[in-house]
Amino acid sequence: MNITLEEVKQQCRIEHELEDDLLNGYLLSARKTVENLTNRQLFDELPEEPPANALLLKEDIKLAVLMLTAYLYENRSGWNEANNSPNFAIPPTVEIIIQPYKFLTL
């Protein structure tokens, strides 16, 4: 399941093409962040011999990536205007969605 630029634009409520490159950058960053937070490799389709930490990009993980992409778009400077403080935290809803998928190594 691939995440398209159109899906990102819909999530961010954007109708123009002026920031397409920026949105693609945020999408890549959000996807990598979800991979890092879960200690997983996200796949649109699982390879024939997937690694132990492989995770198929299902609807809920896709939603988490889209939500994080929109969050990065809306908070470009890393400063949250709503509470007038630096906010580098992951949105709680994203954390809730990805929590069950965290891959723990011993």
Total tally of structural domains belonging to the chain: 1
Alpha carbon distances (Å) from 34 to 81, 82, 84 = 24, 24, 26
Per-residue pLDDT tens, the chain, 106 aa: give them.
Answer: 799 999 999 999 999 999 999 999 999 999 999 999 999 999 999 999 999 999 999 999 999 999 999 999 998 876 665 555 555 578 999 999 999 999 988 7
Specify if 49 maps to a domain.
Answer: yes
12 lies in some domain: yes
Q: Which amino acid is at 5?
A: L
**Is 106 part of any domain?**
no
Can you give the pTM of this predicted structure?
0.87
CATH number of 92's domain? 1.10.3230
Measure Cα distances from 70 to 11, 36, 80 in Å: 7, 18, 13
Check residue 49 and give its pLDDT.
96
Do residues 37 and 100 make contact, with C-beta atoms less than 8 angstroms apart?
no
pLDDT of residue 51: 96
φ, ψ of residue 87 to 5 degrees: the values are -135, 100
In a domain, 67, yes or no: yes
Domain that holds residue 19: 5-101
Is 96 contained in some domain? Answer: yes
| Sequence letter at residue 21 | D
